[in-house]
Amino acid sequence: MRKNSVAVLLVFLTLGLSLPVKAEEILVSAAASLTDVLNEIGKVYQSKTKNQATFNFGASSDLARQIDEGAPADIFFSADLAQLDNLDKKGRIETTTRKNLLSNQLVIVLPVDSKLALRSPRDLLQPEMKRIALAEPSTVPVGVYTKKYLESEGLWDGIKEKIVPVLNVRATLASVESGNVEAGFVYKTDAAISRKVRIAYEVPIAKGPKITYPVAVVKESKKKGAAREFLNFLATPEAKGLFEKYGFVVLR
Amino acid sequence: MISFSEATWNITLFSLGVALASTLTIFPFGIALSWFLARKRSRFNSFLETVALLPLVIPPVATGLILLKIFGRRSPLGGWLYERGVEILFNWKGVLVAMAVMSFPLLVRSARTSFAEVNPRLEQIAATLGASPLRIFFTVTIPLAWKGIVAGGLLAFSRALGEFGATIMVAGNIAGRTQTLSLAIFDFVQLGKDAEALGLMVITVILAFAGVGISEALVRPKGVA
Amino acid sequence: MLLRCRLPLVRFTLDIDVSLEAQVTAIFGPSGSGKTSLLDVIAGLRGISEGEIEVGGRTLLSSSRGINLSPQERGIGYVPQEAALFPHLSVRKNILFGSKRKRGSSPDGAINLDHVITLLEIHHLLERRVTHLSGGEIQRVALARAILSGPQLLLLDEPLASLDIGLKEKILPYLRRVRDEFAIPMIYVSHNPTEVLSLADWVIMIREGKVVTQGVPHDVLASRLFLSDLDEIEIENVFDTRLADSNAHAGRSRVLLKSGQELFIPYVDKPANSFLQVRIPGDDVLVATKRPEGISAGNVLAGKIESIETVDGQSILRVKAGETFIVRLTAGAVGGLRLTEGQEIFLVIKTRSCVVL
């Protein structure tokens, strides 16, 4: 009994002593599409600063809700401007720290072994393009953006009969990989997930929808200093290089 | 094709540990409620039963949202806990809460059935032999119902391991802190890392198979192969 | 013992008010007449809003004084009809389950394990699992367990109902031994006349929750009220006898009834003066107006008709021939022979119709 107490005490002492020495750890709630790039940036950040960034990846809407209920995140990195705006209105984030950091690009993917040629979205009207996979165009952001884009190009009415609405980006990629559909719309960064699809067409940034990834420090964060420091790091050329490596467009 | 890394084992151990803690936590409450539902007739019965079974039928994400609201800093309970330095969200306690709530119905359903199958006459006779209600419960009721109770515990444990929707809402999906087998599988699948996902899936299937298999074997009527 | 209770059941209200002095009281009635409910009320397993129960001078329940002892405080041994034993415990653990109760409640405090085990002949069963017991063994073990809990009253709910005829006759002697060895009052629920006649000193007949008559067994079982329940009930005569002599060669034994009346029964290999209970079905007794001659039946008894009750074409005769015999005839036979109360007649009983219990 006494022995155990001593052991417990020792553990506490060790922890207690190591705390001031140990660098600060911040928690970043980030959109799932940022998983790979942020994991890599996190490693670089830790090796450079001894501070640690831990990530909570999920759907931007869920992350926003968690922060709204007081979940202990220090930074919110959203894939959707509306979610951050919403939190800002409720006073849940430090407005002055807001930055629109990244953008993404819509692309059309085909199975890697597809013999079909696609030089412009207009080619989707060809009869050989029987089915086109798209994340649910009424609710999922990428679906909503795609629909808007196709409408602006005057193509939506022509191909809407061919649209197979699916759950999300991953499901879009899976449909294309398997050849169940002839083509699909995803973000450029998502296309990198699969080696069994190829990017056939990139929607020019100027013509495509404005896709923005904003980031900000959470108002209730207890580690605002460390959080700001991490935000600054995201703007360094080193981080910028990594974002671009993963296919993101870095704004400004 | 299949990849088992050190992270795989850490995630597995974490999941097993929290699922076990969750099952042990709900055990006394589940047993007490099951017994009450099986033995006492009150007008609250159907209400209590419905509430306990609710997580089984409503979408896990909805349960997660409710839990988020209950344990978030802005709720009375969450605020009260927060002031005392207890934070449920975004750490293992959140995982435990989500697992506990989601697996509770399975324990209750199984245990209630096995309590109901204990002939109340035996408990009554024990009372005429001078046994107190507590002694009856531990020497007659529990020994006769133990199979269903353990089966329910195993089922709850397996459900806890498989829990996803509520966990991601309450505890987040934080590698090394709250990431369970299910969350990690989801992550890997989303990121197209099928080899890693497959490794975790193999482990999950083996654990689920063992848990559900033993549970079924316990409650299977004798003489049926 | 005082027993007064009112309990609304589904089809009728159980409404009993009796005072019992006998050691063994039989509650007799057709199935669904509220017998088991009554036992449950006495044992405290069923709550009632109105009633008084007093056993051995101790008040177990009094709605007027606000007393209601819980089952474990009542000191009542209950041998139920079904689910008698704890299936997860060995026979030994079963019979010791109630022995933790303090013995002060037992009337003489002298009930001892070995005595009970020997009396009920269950020694060889002690280490067995109860799932491997026969019906008769289960009843004996349940009885032992109830006795060993040191009860002030034993409740037996049709302990023989689930056994077949041959087994019943093997259990009855054990029940008689318990009655004779321990001074524990018993309430015995049954709808079998043989058991009632064999064990009880007093019979309470209930129907739809009400006492319709009570008295000593022979009187109650020959009463008109009893007749209306006859559909499922056999008319029985049960007599306590002593063995006079046996003749293996002739295949028969001679016994003496309490009144001194003698009776030939099938051969029994037992010493003279052995106690025997003999059962004679009421349908196996012939009535003759003149002494018959040249007849194979071993017993021809002279007697006098005490009463004739006729219901639905069946007649029950009470005939005093030393003891009181109960005989069932068709109403047609009674009319054809012009039998009347007070008439002198002869009872003819085959030796083989006399069964030793």
Model confidence pLDDT, tens digit, residues C145-174: 999 998 999 999 988 777 766 666 677 888
Q: Quote the distance between the C-alpha of residue C202 and its chain's center.
A: 10
Q: Bridge partners of C157?
A: C189
Q: Are C287 and C345 in contact (CB under 8 A)?
A: yes
Which one, of A117, A153, A107, A110, lies nearest residue A132 by Cα? A110
Tokens, residue B130: 């001078």
Would the CB atoms of B128 and C97 count as touching at under 8 Å? no
Q: Are C263 and C178 in contact (CB under 8 A)?
A: no
* pLDDT value for C167: 67
Would the CB atoms of A70 and B72 count as touching at under 8 Å? yes
Q: Bridge partners of A53?
A: A26
Would the CB atoms of A66 and B69 count as touching at under 8 Å? no
Structure confidence at residue A15 as a pLDDT band (50, 70, 90): very low
Q: Establish, for the pair of chains B and C, how many residue pairs have beta carbons separated by less than 8 Å.
A: 61
- The answer to whether residue A14 scores a pLDDT higher than 50 is no
pLDDT in tens, B61-109: 999 999 999 999 999 999 999 999 999 999 999 999 999 999 999 999 9
Q: Which pairing describes strands C50-55 and C210-215: parallel, antiparallel, or unpaired? A: unpaired
**Is C98 near chain B, with CB under 8 Å?**
yes
**Is B50 near chain C, with CB under 8 Å?**
no
Q: What is the DSSP string of A149-213?
A: HHHHTT-HHHHGGGEEEESSHHHHHHHHHHTSSSEEEEEHHHHTT-SSEEEEEEPPTTTS---EE
Any contact of B with C, at least 3 CB pairs below 8 A?
yes
* pLDDT value for C258: 87
* pLDDT mean over C309-313: 81
Quick one: what percent of chain C has pLDDT higher than 70?
91
How far is residue A218 from each of residues A100, A103, C209, C264, C273, measured CA to CA in Å?
15, 21, 76, 106, 103
Cα B166-B168-B169 angle, rounded to 5 deg = 65
**Considering only A136-145, B203-212, C198-207, C248-257, which range has the smallest mean pLDDT?**
A136-145
* pLDDT value for A21: 44
**Average pLDDT across chain C, whole number:** 86
Which one, of A24, A83, A85, lies nearest residue A53 by Cα? A24
A126 min Cα distance to partner chain B (Å)? 30
Q: Which residue of A has its CA nearest to B89?
A: A71
- The answer to whether residue A115 scores a pLDDT higher than 70 is yes
Rounded Cα–Cα distance for residues C97 and C105 (Å):
16
* pLDDT value for C230: 55
Neighbours of chain B (3+ CB pairs under 8 A): A, C
Tokens, residue C246: 């046996």
Structure confidence at residue C227 as a pLDDT band (50, 70, 90): low
Which element (helix H / strand E) includes C58? strand C58-62
- Total Cβ atoms within 10 A of residue C313: 8
- Total Cβ atoms within 10 A of residue A33: 25
Would the CB atoms of A29 and B69 count as touching at under 8 Å? no
- The answer to whether residue C192 scores a pLDDT higher than 80 is no
Q: Which pairing describes strands C186-190 and C202-207: parallel, antiparallel, or unpaired? A: unpaired
- In one-letter notation, the amino acid at residue A10 is L
Torsion of CA B98, B99, B100, B102, to 10 degrees: 80
Which residues of chain A make contact with B178, given a CB cutoff of 8 A? 56
Contacts of B49 (CB under 8 A, 6+ apart): B37
Residues 106-165 of B with CB under 8 A from A: none
* pLDDT value for C6: 87
* pLDDT value for A192: 81
B27 min Cα distance to partner chain A (Å)? 27
Which residues of chain A make contact with B82, given a CB cutoff of 8 A? 70
**Considering only A102-116, A134-148, B100-114, which range has the smallest mean pLDDT?**
A134-148
Quick one: what percent of chain C has pLDDT higher than 90?
39
Q: Which residue of B has its CA nearest to A173?
A: B192
How far is residue C223 from each of residues A125, C200, C220, C246, measured CA to CA in Å?
102, 17, 5, 36
- The answer to whether residue C104 scores a pLDDT higher than 60 is no
Which one, of B10, B32, B23, B53, lies nearest residue B157 by Cα? B23
- The answer to whether residue A10 scores a pLDDT higher than 50 is no
Structure confidence at residue C231 as a pLDDT band (50, 70, 90): low
Which residues of chain B make contact with C143, given a CB cutoff of 8 A? none
**Is B89 near chain A, with CB under 8 Å?**
yes
Any contact of A with B, at least 3 CB pairs below 8 A?
yes
Rounded Cα–Cα distance for residues B191 and A31 (Å):
12
* pLDDT value for C228: 58
- Among the partner-chain residues B121, B126, B128, the one whose CB lies closest to the CB of C82 is B121
Rounded Cα–Cα distance for residues B178 and B170 (Å):
10
pLDDT in tens, C47-72: 888 899 999 889 999 999 999 999 99
Would the CB atoms of B189 and A170 count as touching at under 8 Å? yes
* pLDDT value for A209: 86
pLDDT in tens, A146-188: 999 999 999 999 999 999 999 888 889 989 998 899 999 999 9
Higher-pLDDT residue of B149, C313: B149
Q: Bridge partners of C253?
A: C246, C265
* pLDDT value for C339: 92
Crossing angle of the two packed helices A60-68 and B60-71, in degrees rounded to 10: 30
* pLDDT value for A6: 46
What backbone torsions phi and psi does residue A29 show, to the nearest 5 degrees?
-85, 115
C157 min Cα distance to partner chain B (Å)? 12
* pLDDT mean over A104-115: 92
Higher-pLDDT residue of C82, C297: C297
C84 min Cα distance to partner chain B (Å)? 7
Q: Which of C88, C130, C138 to mutate to test the interface with B (most CBs of B within 10 A)?
A: C88
Which residues of chain A make contact with B63, given a CB cutoff of 8 A? none
Tally of CA atoms within 13 A in the half-sphere of C10 that contains its CB = 2
- The answer to whether residue A55 scores a pLDDT higher than 50 is yes
- Beta-sheet strands, E only, within B36-181: none
Structure confidence at residue C233 as a pLDDT band (50, 70, 90): low
The complex scores an ipTM of 0.86
Tokens, residue C343: 């008439």
Rounded Cα–Cα distance for residues C198 and C176 (Å):
8
- In one-letter notation, the amino acid at residue B223 is G
Higher-pLDDT residue of C232, B178: B178
- The 3-state secondary structure of chain C, one letter per residue: CEEEEEEECCCCEEEEEEECCCCEEEEECCCCCCHHHHHHHHHCCCCCCEEEEEECCEEEEECCCCEECCHHHHCEEEECCCCCCCCCCEHHHHHHCCCCCCHHHCCCCCCCHHHHHHHHCCHHHCCCEHHHCCHHHHHHHHHHHHHHCCCCEEEEECCCCCCCHHHHHHHHHHHHHHHHHCCCCEEEEECCHHHHHHHCCEEEEEECCEEEEEECHHHHHCCHHHHCCHHHCCCEEEEEEEEEEEECCCCEEEEEECCCCEEEEECCCCCCCCEEEEEEEHHHEEEECCCCCCCCCCEEEEEEEEEEEEECCEEEEEEEECEEEEEEEEHHHHHHCCCCCCCEEEEEECHHHCEEC
Rounded Cα–Cα distance for residues C8 and C49 (Å):
10
Would the CB atoms of C98 and B144 count as touching at under 8 Å? no
- The answer to whether residue C108 scores a pLDDT higher than 90 is no
Structure confidence at residue A3 as a pLDDT band (50, 70, 90): very low
Higher-pLDDT residue of B111, C9: B111
- In one-letter notation, the amino acid at residue C12 is F
Would the CB atoms of A27 and B90 count as touching at under 8 Å? yes
* pLDDT value for C165: 65
- The answer to whether residue B36 scores a pLDDT higher than 60 is yes
Would the CB atoms of C101 and B130 count as touching at under 8 Å? yes
Give whichever of B93-97, C180-184, C330-334 has the largest mean pLDDT.
Answer: B93-97
Which element (helix H / strand E) includes C326? strand C323-330
Which residues of chain C make contact with B134, given a CB cutoff of 8 A? none
